[in-house]
Structure 1
């Protein structure tokens, strides 16, 4: 209940964070999607205690207000929001990336075809960003990317050619690197974009404070 603000949402992920630490031994970068803020805050808090120098990368969707962008209609579900969830641990993130639906779809399908790993919108968005991190960091950097779910709920969207064509989601591969903005309210983004100045949008003087729900 009240998943956007209930602290139990974050503490429930402590066992997963400890499992990641146990299985991987050391983690340099954590990449995770952000919707309610639960798993990013819960996992990030524990891993930051274990690895103070860890870099935590949040992944959002265009049209989401979570990190200070204006609210717009969103195709992608599972990540993003039209409100400002209080479970989002803004101070935890070193950077945030916004991903467009067609970029997530292309990555989902490529991941399924090449690595036999399947999932929905969040998986595609996280995989896109984690792949970029892997290409731009040192070869021995250990990256943990959280894939929240499988493909079952997305067979009639992400993996449906007719649906994707109707929504313009088969436009081709995403660019090899994200655009970069200096702060979240610098401009409205419409493609994969990165920002390293992560703040609570309620502290931004230019924030449009729209209340709503997904």
Structure 2
């Protein structure tokens, strides 16, 4: 297993995204510069899910931004998506387990956070007990911007964009600072989340979408 190369490869290419550069590189500004995002089909879409705390209990002790690191499980000979997500003080906050080649589960101490089914013709995902969504309804393309995708969560669009070294999550109402920044960190990568990410309850959907982007076929 090799670590993702965030320096020489747009990390979003793993999800089929192409680079789009201008004189100053990719724009780091959110919607509307990112592009118009078409709402998902109402049959699927992001449906209401049970309420849960906006901040994971394992993260509340750290004020300000929260950094989570993805650490692979050793001896992963089948190269399935198996890793730990470490929070403050290197404490394991989430585990990512693929006991079945077609199913990946993200879990915390209370049980399943999300289940990803890597199946044809469409990958399916459910988060916190919500109804299953097709990948293309959870992560949608933006009009005229192949270097960006839109993550729909509880009817609100959030936007992933990338440059050569990192990628960024924005909220529609944010005009300057990203909600989260993903960068290379041995042996895999890390995500630095702003306090608003936890306040909005969007950290876990962001982690799920990040896993789906980075490992679009369910393998490392």
Larger helix percent:
1
Larger strand percent:
2
Fold shared by both chains (TM-score > 0.5): no
Query: Which structure carries more relative contact order (alpha carbon 8 Å, separation 6+)?
Result: 2
User: Where on the TM-score scale, by shorter chain, does this alignment land: which range?
Assistant: under 0.3
TM-score calculated relative to the size of structure 1: 0.25
TM-score calculated relative to the size of structure 2: 0.25
